[in-house]
Structure 1
């Protein structure tokens, strides 16, 4: 469909489907009429491996938070399909813009697991160099990463680079003004950005139906003049297929895309949350029965692409990652309190020097 404006015809995107795009059902069976081609078995095996390792890493990080080894940890237990599929869909030259809940995506992208957790331990502003793996720092303010991605890709396109960006955000982030600004500028500038909204149903304790009257979050794309896709976020095959297509189209000049992935976080919002106060056990059980890891495992076993030896190999690798995280965090030096004053000014001003002296006095006094 097209409309005519003073500068020529403009394509009006079609409405997203109310039923999410799905390639593999909750029982691990192929859907009858797939709307996007399914990834091959090698890709599906890579997705399963990434989810097994990512889930074990997430479980280990959650345990460390309970033990005091991390200041906080926002678990992504149950959302592995979105994070692993999104990260694996990126090309080497693309950028990932994660949030505080996207540690598994960073791990999948190749960031050192200890550096992934450094921010959450409270040591530094960000525990990794963004450049080697093209991963922006994890953002805590909701949707602030979205406009950063638009700016980076706009600049890259002006330099003639075929670079796209994947922005990870939650359903709550779509209610922020920063999201509106990013969507609008991305569409106006035709920036090669894919916004992947992990709709887990809750912005902490606020359900999505109290955030919007839109039929799906993907429908919001139409108002900005960009395509929107509604996908089963617990189907790693579908997420990978849709995100891969959207990134390829963005790189080739097709502009931004908004993808809503319907998923669920099985754990609390963070280790300090009490989700039993706002959600029912039956709801959690419903989503546990749609687990992304067991769904893909069932498919690959049924089609003869994965067996016990493959799953054992993935589990062993996951355990090695978890053991390495435990060991290296236990051996890590405690941060020097005086680092609070480092790397702020080239020449420390008198007011800050006075505060540093006060801190030294307190530390000497015990």
Structure 2
């Protein structure tokens, strides 16, 4: 696959009109009316889940949340391109990917509420929990892909990260290692134009997809607000990975319409005009317009979509509010795969410290 960075791949215009692309339209030729309606449903559900979680944080029920408003198509489109056996390594904003991979919304807020180290068992959905260390998941994905290849597994491994993470050494190391060992990794960069308050233009004078060429890696730039284009591009990259053809760098051009996290105020560093410009490219609006054009947005269907979104939001809220308080000694669980004497000593000393307050931890009281 040659680099596609002169003109980002697009299959749906912001006004809902289709764009014919001889190469990429063929990759989504199987997306008929029902699959298109499923994609729109997932876009709506993901936005609703994100809105509910943001509200929970504002109400003091979550310590933090990383909103994905505006990036739904990049996540839903790419996730729909994957097979169940493929393995996903996320950063901290891929709530949409988690939804499409089968994560229950009730499990999505546990880490952000501070109840557990993680929210779900990664082995059940082949998707990692949120990774707060920026860029580290690129190395994890590369190592996993190499191990899978040695085991004879014909899978794709996907590393999600943002434009800011491309300035981290971990991503550069992962790109170089993946090329050298032909690891089957899809490096999926959601270029949302802002690394907290730093615009992408101060991180790179050229398209981020150009960086892949320096490592000898094929790359493609795609309209990240176009769910069909993202689906097509990711399918192509994942197929290369499964076929043993090595890694691919995908740059999905999108926009973070909300704050970096709920502790951020984006009005301090970007203009209202910029936000309005990207609102006109809203990923949900363009699919809804396409459905309208093709007569697929009837009232029963739209009602079902809204019901699915409300149900997911209700599950997320209920899961957050009913999550049990963690036992203090839980912080020592699952740190190592096997018992470790240093950790055991730290655990014992902390238990003794807690006992000094006259109340043992829940766990110690049971023992």
Q: TM-score higher than 0.5 here?
A: yes
**Take 1:142 and 1:194, find their aligned partners in 2: how far apart are those partners?**
17
Please say which of residues 34-43 and 290-299 is displaced more in the overlay. Answer: 34-43
**Take 1:282 and 1:222, find their aligned partners in 2: how far apart are those partners?**
33
1:258 aligned onto 2:249: yes
1:163 alignment counterpart: 155
Please list the CA deviations of residues 232-258 of structure 1 after superposition, one character each: whole Å capped at 9, or x if unmatched.
Answer: 000001000110111012111221000
Cα distance, 1:34 vs. partner?
5.3
Equivalent residue in structure 1 for 2:329, among 338, 348, 353: 338
Cα distance, 1:48 vs. partner?
0.8
Cα distance, 1:350 vs. partner?
4.7
Question: In the alignment, is the contact (CA less than 8 A) between 1:341 and 1:356 conserved in 2?
Answer: no
Q: Aligned to 1:194, what secondary structure does the other structure show?
A: strand
Equivalent residue in structure 2 for 1:116, among 104, 108, 114: 108
The runs of 4+ residues in structure 1 deviating greater than 6 Å are none
Q: Aligned to 2:275, what secondary structure does the other structure show?
A: helix
**Take 2:322 and 2:116, find their aligned partners in 1: how far apart are those partners?**
17
Cα distance, 1:146 vs. partner?
0.8
Cα distance, 1:303 vs. partner?
1.1
Please list the CA deviations of residues 19-62 of structure 1 after superposition, one character each: whole Å capped at 9, or x if unmatched.
Answer: 21100011111125454114522332221111111010000000
Q: Aligned to 1:283, what secondary structure does the other structure show?
A: helix
Give the number of equivalent residue pairs. 352
Question: In the alignment, is the contact (CA less than 8 A) between 1:86 and 1:166 conserved in 2?
Answer: no
**Take 2:345 and 2:236, find their aligned partners in 1: how far apart are those partners?**
55
1:209 alignment counterpart: 201
RMSD: 1.8
Equivalent residue in structure 1 for 2:304, among 297, 304, 313: 313
Question: In the alignment, is the contact (CA less than 8 A) between 2:43 and 2:76 conserved in 1?
Answer: yes
Equivalent residue in structure 2 for 1:272, among 247, 263, 268: 263
Please say which of residues 264-273 and 35-44 is displaced more in the overlay. Answer: 35-44
Equivalent residue in structure 2 for 1:106, among 98, 102, 123: 98
Q: Aligned to 1:127, what secondary structure does the other structure show?
A: coil
Equivalent residue in structure 2 for 1:355, among 323, 343, 350: 350
Q: Aligned to 2:329, what secondary structure does the other structure show?
A: helix
1:323 aligned onto 2:305: no
Cα distance, 1:351 vs. partner?
5.0
Q: Equivalences for 1:136-147 in 2 at 5 Å?
A: 136-147=128-139
**Take 1:343 and 1:185, find their aligned partners in 2: how far apart are those partners?**
28
2:211 alignment counterpart: 220
Q: Aligned to 1:19, what secondary structure does the other structure show?
A: strand
1:88 aligned onto 2:80: yes
Equivalent residue in structure 1 for 2:24, among 32, 36, 42: 36
Please say which of residues 334-343 and 157-166 is displaced more in the overlay. Answer: 334-343
**Take 2:120 and 2:18, find their aligned partners in 1: how far apart are those partners?**
39
Please list the CA deviations of residues 216-236 of structure 1 after superposition, one character each: whole Å capped at 9, or x if unmatched.
Answer: 111111111111101000000
Equivalent residue in structure 1 for 2:13, among 25, 32, 50: 25
